[in-house]
Amino acid sequence: MAQLLRWVPYLLIPAFILVHLFASPYTKVEESFNLQAIHDILIHGIPSENCDGFLTANYDHVSFPGSVPRTFAGALVLSGLSRPFVWLFNSTADLQLLVRAVLGLSNAAALIVFGRSVEKAFGMSAGIWYALMQASQFHINYYASRTLPNMFALIFSTLALRGLLNVYATPWDSVAGSKNYRLSLYLLTIAGVVFRSELALLVATITLYLLPTRRISITAVIIPAGIGGLIIGLLCTVPIDSFFWQSFPLWPEWTGFYFNTIQGHSADWGVSPWHFYFRDAIPRLMINPLTYVLCIPVAVLNAATRRASLDLLVPLLSFVGLYSLLPHKEWRFIIYVIPGLTAVAASGAAWIWTRRAKSLIYSIMSLALVGSIMASFAASTAILAISRMNYPGGEAIDFLHQNIHHDQTRHYSAYFDNLACQTGVTRFLESHDGPQTVLDTLDTPAFANQRMWTYSKTEDTDLLLDPMFWSKFDYALAERPEKVIGSWSVAGVINGYSGIRILKPGETSSGNVESSDVMEDAPSIAYSSKIARAWRALEGLLRETLLRGWWMDIKTEPKIWILQNNHKQ
């Protein structure tokens, strides 16, 4: 029974990852390449002949290749892992949840395995604190199931950090230690070659730290891991991506590195100050201020945990420091350091907790830690409630197919504008009614003409100014309805998040921003508005009774209009 209870904190990690998945089922454009690729592999299959023609006709990346090619390796593996469970589902919309759940649970497994190493290296109490801290963080829970390349790489980097801790989990042995270090460098090198080239910096900082401190062998550890990881990584990406992109040979991650770093195009996406990661990203990712203000310093100052803590902190923070030299910065570029920093914080928390009965100061700090964990869970839940309101495109396409009656005997066409495509529209959410089922693997030559629904996502400005272009659509999902040419009626309006403000005692909630006069009679139906209503109900329950009139007001406004062509009804 005691062994079973020890697993409860660790099980919170996959539980909260799944909660975040089902609470926010839609995706953003950053996730679209891998998600569309998984859809195309599962639904259309992999061609064995006339490959170029088949890929052109059926695969999304041919029509929307992006600025640089990206790897199919993660999408191919995730498709294979999801395939045995496809028969359980009746719709491709459910398959989107399936593939994301498989990715999320894979990351959860890596985090749990890492947590067990934390427990062995720092003690059982540290393992429990690690699990609680990790489960109460928002970003990893929310993004662990999202098909960003960083989330594929996170599995490898987390397991690599486990190798660093495993040295402390077993009695010191030079052979065993070398194997753990070599495995860590193997995993990071493979992940860097296939998924995210920035991991090469982490390989460098770990190697440069281990050389003087652990005196690892260059010939027995570093060279085999570097060359072996490079070869394995290239074998995992070049043949696969050369095939899917029909360009031989192709190494997507090198292409992206050359484009963004060597040619300097990363700055095109925005420039942040050098201290962004330390001042903004890491505190936001860890969410609990006591982890880095109190727990990590305690772990470093405590002689019993100092060496293992520094073995994680020095290379991880050096990686962040070096990566800060690049002008374009996003928190997901450094997410790999969070499990390691959380592990160090957990060791500090455990040291404080075990001394809670020894003095008043330790008792106060222990109570503060417990309160901070509860506050982190509450803050993560509030952020989740807000974040799930940022996907009007996904809600709009779901509303289009599920809430509007359609004649099952006729063909429909719909246009999706840029905002809809960026905030949730995916091929998984398109209607697959017709000759195709979830288990089909190949299309017939005339498949496009047999499907009940066809879709357009063009951004061609000339076409968008042509009345004949709009006349062929039955529906349009538009951020700016006045730009849709022709006679259209409003079938629905999807509301989305538009900001928050702190209400003082006596102030009233603003509620939803009103629709424009032209569309004032349009129904406003969306999951986001349901959340807003639930939040206002919670306000009525808690604001005056517990919070003495203070409250956080969540505002929404119309984001996407679902328009119906009057000439095709």
Radius of gyration of the chain (CA): 26
Q: For the segment 204-216, what is each residue's pLDDT rounded down to a tens digit?
A: 999 999 888 877 8
- As a 3-state breakdown, the chain gives helix, strand, coil percent values, each rounded to 5, of 65, 10, 25
Query: Tell me, what's the pLDDT at 529?
Result: 52
pLDDT of residue 26: 95
Confidence at 170, pLDDT banded by 50, 70, 90: low
Q: For residue range 258-275, what is the model confidence (pLDDT) as tens digits? A: 888 887 777 777 788 989
Mean pLDDT rounded to a whole number for the chain: 87
pLDDT above 90: percentage of residues in the chain:
61
pLDDT of residue 115: 95
- Calpha distance 242→244 (Å, rounded): 6
Give the pLDDT confidence score for residue 119 in this predicted structure.
Answer: 92
- What is the model's pTM? 0.92
Strand partners, 555: 499
Question: What is the model's pLDDT at position 169?
Answer: 66
**Long-range contacts: 298-304, Cβ < 8 Å, 24+?**
298/348, 298/349, 298/351, 298/352, 299/344, 299/345, 299/347, 299/348, 299/351, 300/344, 300/348, 302/347, 302/348, 302/351, 304/351
The two three-digit tokens of residue 438, written as one number = 């979830």
pLDDT at 438: 44
- φ, ψ at 270 (rounded to 5°): 120, 150
pLDDT at 513: 47
Residue 181 has pLDDT above 50, yes or no: yes
Which pLDDT score, from 0 to 100, does residue 460 have? 87
Q: What is the pLDDT of residue 215?
A: 73
The tens digit of pLDDT for each residue in 419-466 reads 999 999 999 999 876 544 444 433 444 444 456 888 999 888 899 999
Mean pLDDT on 239-266:
88
528, pLDDT greater than 80: no
Quick check: 535 pLDDT over 50? Answer: yes
Q: What is the mean pLDDT of residues 7-31?
A: 94
Mean pLDDT of 474-497: 92
pLDDT for res 530 = 58
CA 56 from centre of chain: 28
Indicate if the alpha-carbon torsion angle 101, 104, 109, 110 is positive or negative.
positive
Q: What are the phi and psi torsion angles at 453 (to 5°)?
A: -125, 140
Predicted local distance difference test score (pLDDT) of residue 49: 86
Domain ranges of the chain: 1-388, 392-565
